[in-house]
Chain A
Amino acid sequence: MTLALKLGLARGALELKTFVREREAVVFSFGLPIVLLLIFGTIFEGEVGDTGVDFRQYFAAGIIAGGIMSTTFISLGISIANERDDGTLKRLYGTPMPRASYFIGKTVSALVLSVAETAVLFAVGGALLGLEPPATPQRWFTFGWVFVLGVAACTLLGIAVSSVPRSGRSAAAVLNLPYLVLQFISGVFFVFGDLPSGVQQVGALFPLKWMCQGLRSALLPDVLLAAEPARSWEHGRIALVLAAWCIGGLVLCLTTFRWKRRHER
């Protein structure tokens, strides 16, 4: 196990090195949430309901959740689909590398990128929109576990979903569709409580809604509760849903992960 961990960390470092050198990846996957925050942060206006909370801050909390999903679910789904297609996975499969090291490496790099993405979003949101970091240790704690559970769930789902696109080339298109839809129905671009209840119910099935809600509870004042459909932050339920997605994602990874292309058996 220690060897798997050691090699996993080495792989994580290698993945990050590759990511940083791949300018396109940095600009597009890493930069997109930041660009969205910049654009909509200056377009959106008004308050959330009559709570007195600036909608742009509500949006900023949502885009941080979206950013996590982008550096985990999207990045991993695309990169693994590509690595499967170009034979990188096959080559690794042919070495004595412990299988776990590959996943540890992916998780480590996704975690580091998520932290970096969040830090940049905080910086931009703070400078432009007055978004403040969590105010109390308790809120930091909330922020911490929502972040960790969100990263874990989306990482596992990203690994699992990499088997869905038929080729590496189609991966970006295949993954971005659900991502975009989820952002609309999970309380990123719109106030969740303002969505039709049917849409809310669909949104509540997926992790992004719960990540957004958890981050709002850590970053925004409690007066906002008046605009939450449940009138509560529902911390227990957030933890439960995200943990369930982690377990579901893990089961999917263990049962469906392929090291080879579709027709190579």
Chain B
Amino acid sequence: MTDTAVRVRGLRKRYGDVDAVKGVDLDIRRGEVFALLGPNGAGKSTTVEILEGHRQRTAGEVSVLGADPAKAGRGWRARIGIVPQTSNEDPQLTVREMVRHFAAYYPRPRDPDEVIEAVGLAEQATRRVGRLSGGQRRRVDVALGIIGRPELLFLDEPTTGFDPDARRRFWDLIQGLAGDGTTILLTTHYLDEAEALADRVGVIAAGRVVAVDTPGRLGGRATASARVSWRGPEGPQRIDTDSPTQVVAELSQRFGGEVPELTVTRPSLEDVYLSMIGATK
């Protein structure tokens, strides 16, 4: 068994005359949480759906858990879990009926009631899916994605429509799964989510991967110059510097103690991301 869960080389996808994915390379290790970021229409869902075996690629090599998703069979599907970007459950079934039924498809399912509890739907377990709120319905998707105890979990914008509390609980859930060794590939538009969950993030724009790194180092974030800002006698001041500690020490001397409204910041993941996306336009 290799320690690579996903290996992609030169992946291309054309829809008619639209080049959606133009040569993507990707390596995801077993047990890793990998976040795919990118603007609308960048090709995230297309890439993910090719890895799930839902779409056919135009060109390139793809290996997911050692198999080609375009040809893989039932045994392979039992090892992956899918939470699609959009979906519809049968509105007439209850949450529990639905989750129990899907559990029967898998050889080693998780306990349905535990899964319902884990996604925070215990109180709604006997309610029909059609009568859930949007965010609650989304949690059913997540439940169905993890019910089969997947080795590799695909999450395409899983937390869209979650309230802040539900999102935090979802993060805990994902961290728990990752702690148990589940490999996770997620796409998201929330940079805090990527930062909280991902071991590495890949930024994809216009069908190409423009950067892959840990959230802390992406785009030279760790070594980027820091910004020191404060309020001086003539108004708000700021300096971009590579030695913020020294600047603060000097300021402290100048003000003879406390520096008014002092902050030291480095570019946030969002800053880095936005400048990266801006550069590809």
Contacts and interface: CB of A to CB of B under 8 A. Distances in A.
Nearest to A260: B54
B78 interface: yes
Contact of A18 (B55, B74, B92): B92
A223 interface: no
Interface stretch (A69-77, A84-92, A176-184): A84-92
Contacts of B107: 96
Given A14-B101, A93-B54, A260-B54, A87 B74 contact: no
Interface residues of B, number: 30
Most buried by B among A7, A90, A93, A263: A90
Interface stretch (B79-87, B185-193, B240-248, B266-274): B79-87
Interface string B75-107: 101101010101111101100010001101111
Contacts of B84: 87, 90-91, 94
A22 interface: yes
Nearest to A97: B105
A263 B89 CA distance: 21
Interface string B141-156: 0001000100000000
Contact of A94 (B54, B86, B128): B54
Contacts of B52: 94
Contacts, number: 61
Contacts of B88: 86-88
A87 B86 contact: yes
B56 interface: yes
B216 interface: no
A229 to B, nearest CB: 45
Given A96-B77, A96-B107, A265 B93 contact: no
Interface residues of A, number: 23
A265 B87 contact: no
B74 A98 contact: yes
26 contacts: A10-B101, A11-B101, A14-B90, A14-B97, A17-B93, A17-B97, A18-B92, A21-B92, A22-B92, A86-B88, A87-B84, A87-B88, A88-B88, A88-B90, A90-B54, A93-B54, A94-B52, A95-B102, A95-B105, A95-B148, A96-B77, A96-B78, A96-B106, A264-B54, A265-B55, A265-B56
Interface of A: 7, 10-11, 14, 17-18, 21-22, 86-88, 90-91, 93-98, 260, 263-265
